[in-house]
Structure 1
Amino acid sequence: MNGFTSFNDTWFQQLHRLVQQLSSCPKHPTTTEHQHHLLHVINKVMSHYAEYYSVKSLAAEHDALSVFVAPWATTLERSLHWIGGWRPTTAFHLVYSEASIHFEAHIIDILRGFRTGDLGDLSPAQFRRVSELQCETVKEENAISEELSEWQDGVSELMGSSSDLDVKTGLLTSVLKKADDLRLRTVRKVVDLLTPQQAVEFLIAASELHFGVRGWGITQDRHRNNFF
């Protein structure tokens, strides 16, 4: 698992650099060239996420139990985890939160009929699609949670033969992969329903939330270790 921990650290550093590229994108793209640039950077970020879950899937096949407890994460991050990672529906809460922040920041312009083009300027069709996706994702989350519950209910079987243990571990691997697949698909679907400008804002906000939680978690872990 040291191999994936090292990969995770490198991946996280690369995400920082990609977010810097997102932040340097034009705030209000006005040309086709600007739009293409935004799409190019968005695709780089999405490929970065896809790589993460591809490598994590291989790690789960090798050691599902370690991937489930995520030793590379801070204590705070693990307390927020749902099946080895962030809960997919967090993406929708982030969209609503960012939409509210942007709307309030530009409310005068919006009331005057000016289109800001940012997350505060989501159309009724976009809000409807976000709501539909949220409902779909909640159903999938619940189904995967039920699979994990069934796996946990069979904990007594872990005391059987090694072949029984292999079967049970294989089932956990399947649950982990389904959870990660839902995480990646959720981000992709949210990005797809947004304009390039909105997608950039969403990806920056998602990354900053990730950075913030991890940074706070590292500080808390260091304080805890020094205390004990």
Structure 2
Amino acid sequence: MVAAGSVQSGGTNFSFSKASRREEDFQSHGISLICEILFPKIGLQAILQHMQHPNSKWTFNQVILLSHGSTAALDLQKHLQVLREKYTSIGYKLHENQEKAEVVIGESSVGHELAKISDSKVLRRLAQNREAARKSRLRKKAYVQQLETSRVKLNQLEQELDRLRQAGCHAGVSSRVDQRHPGVAAFDMEYSRWVEEQNQLLCKLRTALMGNVADTDLHMIVDNGITHYDDLFRLKSNAVKVDVFHIVSGMWKTPAERCFMWMGGFRPSDLLKIILPQLEPLSEQQTLAICSLQQSSQQAEDALSQGMEALQQNLAEILSTASIVASNVANYMGQMAMAMGKLGTLENFVLQADNLRQQTLHQLNRILTTRQGARGLLAIGDYFSRLRALSSLWVARPRE
């Protein structure tokens, strides 16, 4: 459909709005030209008014016939033919421009719709990516929480195993804790507390050595470490008097520690071999003093070991010759009383071994400088901590 417009020709304007009105507009304009050319005296307005009158029968062709045969009429017909062609050309051009405009508008609308569709897809994809990232973060958070919960449960199981082990729950021994002597149960609890305090002391020593604190402050920490071992020997002394077998068997220790036990504790000579590399560099005097201490400790250990072997041999002989025949009940009871007396000697051996361990630590502390003593205590503590960790891994190992 052609849009409405206007055309100016020879000073006279005529308008058209649709294709159906082109011929009427052209005739009106043609009549106006004819009247201006052929009837100047009558007047254009008079003729037009007469033609527009309801009873008028004048038409465009009648006006043309009025001037038929005249030269002016011929010229007018030529002029009207040119005007008709020009008018038709202008109409077609307007129609083509409108169709092009409609095509452009249509293409623009389609492009706009495609852009909307593309934008909606991008927005939907971005929303999906955000949702996937959120779910991934939630899964990661849940996984970390699960790992943390598993770690806490593992620590609780390890602590429970240590507590049961220290309480005497092992193969070949009754698992009923209430059968133990109250003094033994108290020792197990005190030893667990001692281990926790030992770990705290090791952390202080390590921090002090790394921070290069003053020797006076470091000396105080080292003295606290030696005093802490003195407390352990005091606890063991009380427990030996209650149940020496509990201390000698090492049920208050972890399985890995029990493998290296000697008479209810560590061998002083072996401990010196372990920490000696951590004490270097040593002066010549320090080296000689440590070697002498190691030899004396080894000799004392050998003497105690020989006494323990002799005690075991005597107990074996006494128990092997005891008879429970009814006629020899008195003899049997006498032999068992003798064996009980030998066990009192076992208590003395354990107490002497603890005294040797305690004296070795004090003598070593006097030989070393403050920083060497701190490194020595740290090496001893780390050694036993690794043994306890090894035991925990062994207990928690997968079994087929």
Q: Normalising TM by the smaller chain, what interval?
A: 0.7 to 0.9
For residue 387 of structure 2, the aligned residue among 209, 213, 223 is 213
Q: Equivalent pairs: percent with the same residue?
A: 22
For residue 266 of structure 2, give the secondary structure of its aligned residue in structure 1: coil
Deviations 1:185-217 (A, max 9, x none): 111111110000000001001100010011101
Q: Rg larger in 1 or in 2?
A: 2
The normalised TM-score by structure 1 is 0.83
Structure 1 residue 146 corresponds to structure 2 residue 329? no
| Equivalence for 1:168 | 342
CA distance in 2, matches of 1:62, 1:186: 26
Is contact 2:257–2:384 with CA below 8 Å preserved after alignment?
A: no
Is contact 1:74–1:221 with CA below 8 Å preserved after alignment?
A: no
| Equivalence for 2:246 | 66
Residue correspondence of structure 1 range 101-180 to structure 2 within 5 A: 119-156=279-316, 157-158=318-319, 161=333, 163-180=337-354
CA distance in 2, matches of 1:122, 1:190: 13
Aligned letter for 1:147? G
Is contact 2:246–2:252 with CA below 8 Å preserved after alignment?
A: no
Aligned letter for 2:186? G
Structure 1 residue 14 corresponds to structure 2 residue 197? yes
For residue 51 of structure 1, the aligned residue among 214, 224, 231 is 231
Is contact 1:85–1:180 with CA below 8 Å preserved after alignment?
A: yes
Structure 1 residue 191 corresponds to structure 2 residue 371? no
| Equivalence for 1:75 | 255
Structure with greater contact order relative to length (CA < 8 Å, sep ≥ 6): 1
CA distance in 1, matches of 2:212, 2:389: 32
Query: How big is the shift at 1:27?
Result: 5.0
Aligned letter for 1:96? L
Is contact 1:80–1:86 with CA below 8 Å preserved after alignment?
A: yes
CA distance in 1, matches of 2:353, 2:338: 23
Is contact 1:29–1:197 with CA below 8 Å preserved after alignment?
A: no
Is contact 1:19–1:204 with CA below 8 Å preserved after alignment?
A: yes
> Structure 1: which 5+ residue stretches go unaligned?
99-118
RMSD: 1.9
CA distance in 2, matches of 1:227, 1:168: 42
Deviations 1:21-60 (A, max 9, x none): 1112245868xxx222112111111111001011101100
Deviations 1:123-179 (A, max 9, x none): 011011111111111100000101111111012335653532431221100000011
